[in-house]
């Protein structure tokens, strides 16, 4: 059984964090016409859309946006996903020579990011792929780190970070859950 241990981010902190991530991306990339955002299904998609909208709100034209479903690129596809929920991968632009900002909600082992990178590479060869995540919870199994990070919150093995987004869950918040042992 799991219970909420603490709220790491409320709606106001959530919005401030997305705004900060958008500003960091704008500071690093002066030529935003060469940048595309790709959100990882499920919650990385609305986070990526919001970051793109914030960049556009600050006077930049719209940024190319796509989504990626990593289900079939996961290394645990057959062992840990008995009945996977597959979503669409929609990348409606050529990725060649673009700077891709991959957006996800939580960075954990790094395996989802690896799968997302593999999926993107099926579409071509980007100039670069950078990672933006809302929360890094630690426990990396692959040498992957975020280029743009909301918060770093190391967890114990019996804790879990759950990100709620309005578009999927009806509320913006980040919760630290604890499983009974």
Task: Please name the residue that has the structure tokens 């999927």.
Answer: 168
Q: Which H or E run includes 44? A: helix 44-57
Per-residue burial over 95-127, b = 16 or more CB atoms within 10 Å of its CB, e = otherwise:
beebbbbbbbbbbbebbbbbbbbebbeebeebe
Backbone region of residue 118 per phi and psi (left: phi > 0; alpha: psi in -120 to 50; beta: other values)? alpha
Q: What does the pLDDT profile of the chain (181 residues) look like in tens digits?
A: 889 999 999 999 999 999 999 999 999 998 899 999 999 999 999 999 999 999 999 978 889 999 999 987 655 545 555 555 667 899 999 999 999 999 999 999 999 999 999 999 999 999 999 999 999 999 999 999 999 999 999 999 999 999 999 999 999 999 999 998 6
Question: Does the reported pTM lie above 0.75?
Answer: yes
Q: Are 35 and 101 in contact (CB under 8 A)?
A: yes
Domains of the chain: 11-76+86-154 (3.40.50.2020)
Query: Tokens for 111?
Result: 């395996």
């Amino acid at each position: 059984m799991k219970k909420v241990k603490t709220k790491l981010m409320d709606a106001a902190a959530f919005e401030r964090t997305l705004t900060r991530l958008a500003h960091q991306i704008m500071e690093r990339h002066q030529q935003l016409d060469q940048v595309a955002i790709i959100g990882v299904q499920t919650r990385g998609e609305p986070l990526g859309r919001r970051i793109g909208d914030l960049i556009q709100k600050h006077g930049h034209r719209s940024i190319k946006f796509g989504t990626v479903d990593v289900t079939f690129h996961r290394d645990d596809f057959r062992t840990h996903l008995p009945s996977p929920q597959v979503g669409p991968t929609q990348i409606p632009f050529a990725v060649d020579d673009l700077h891709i900002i991959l957006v996800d909600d939580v960075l954990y082992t790094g395996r989802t990011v690896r799968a997302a990178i593999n999926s993107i590479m099926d579409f071509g060869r980007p100039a670069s792929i950078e990672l933006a995540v809302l929360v890094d919870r630690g426990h990396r199994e692959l040498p992957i780190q975020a280029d743009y990070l909301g918060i770093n919150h190391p967890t114990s093995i019996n804790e879990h970070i759950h990100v709620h987004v309005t578009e999927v869950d009806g509320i913006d918040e980040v919760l630290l859950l604890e499983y009974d042992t």
